[in-house]
């Protein structure tokens, strides 16, 4: 049975607070995996708020890129691993290898973007598989970044699509998927899977 729980929602929806309540509920050791990189004062303040709201006795691992390595490292640990958040991790991976548009032209640029997206999605599949296999329960927080307007630049559009595809991969692997709206979580996978099963059954 999968040990992965995926929590999604919009900005300031309450998803991180819910994830922390869920992680603390079993009263077992918690390893908090922070994927954020602090580049400016605004991000520093966001990180500080997250630090202040979670229990000080939780173990902290700061890892912006090598999430699979973190899961492997704690494969045999008992307790909970809370990853916050997946979309920052995706952003870090994307920016780490993003091709300069000025250096590439037309088809070459598009092919480079496609190769980069496939590489990142393979990282997601690896992390998703590990989360199902290791001993601790894994809780991952992600964002719904595609609910707004279509971004006006290629990088943002690539990121939006990448986040949507990554969330689908993780959602399929998770035992439970929660959507948090206005501070209230709703478990959506069971009902969604039942609907999909009924529709696919009609096609047979």
Q: Annotated binding site for GTP, which residues?
A: 9-16, 34-36, 62, 84
Q: Which of 33, 23, 16, 19 is nearest to 130 (CA)?
A: 33
Q: Token pair 């494969």 is at which residue?
A: 75
Q: Are 182 and 18 in contact (CB under 8 A)?
A: no
Token pair recorded at residue 137 = 């329960």
> Annotated binding site, which residues?
9-16, 34-36, 62, 84
What span, in angstroms and rounded, lies between the C-alpha atoms of 87 and 6? 12
CA distances from 164 to 37, 51, 136, 195 (A): 21, 27, 26, 20
Catalytic residue among 37, 50, 77, 161: 50
Token pair recorded at residue 199 = 């529709």
Q: Which of 165, 76, 63, 68 is nearest to 126 (CA)?
A: 68
Whether 57 is catalytic is no
The rounded Cα 98 to chain-centroid distance in angstroms is 19
Report whether the peptide linkage leading into residue 85 is cis, meaning its omega lies within 30 degrees of zero: yes
By annotation, the residues acting in catalysis are 50
């Amino acid at each position: 049975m999968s040990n992965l729980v995926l929590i999604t929602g919009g900005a300031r929806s309450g998803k991180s607070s819910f994830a922390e309540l869920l992680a603390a509920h079993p009263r077992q050791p918690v390893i908090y995996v922070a994927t954020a990189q602090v580049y400016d004062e605004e991000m520093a303040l966001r990180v500080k708020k997250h630090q202040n709201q979670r229990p000080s006795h939780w173990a902290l691992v700061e890892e912006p890129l090598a999430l699979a390595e973190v899961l492997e490292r704690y494969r045999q640990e008992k307790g909970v691993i809370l990853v916050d958040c997946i979309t920052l991790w995706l952003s870090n991976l994307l920016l780490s290898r993003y091709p300069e548009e000025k250096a590439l032209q037309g088809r070459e640029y598009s092919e480079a973007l496609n190769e980069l997206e496939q590489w990142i999605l393979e990282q997601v599949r690896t992390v998703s598989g590990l989360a199902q296999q290791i001993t601790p329960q894994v809780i991952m927080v992600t964002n719904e970044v595609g609910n707004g307007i279509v971004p006006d630049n290629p990088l943002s559009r690539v990121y939006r699509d990448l986040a949507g595809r990554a969330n689908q991969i993780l959602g399929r692997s998770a035992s439970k998927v929660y959507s948090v709206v206005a501070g209230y979580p709703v478990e959506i996978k069971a009902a969604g899977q039942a609907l999909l099963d009924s529709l696919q059954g009609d096609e047979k």
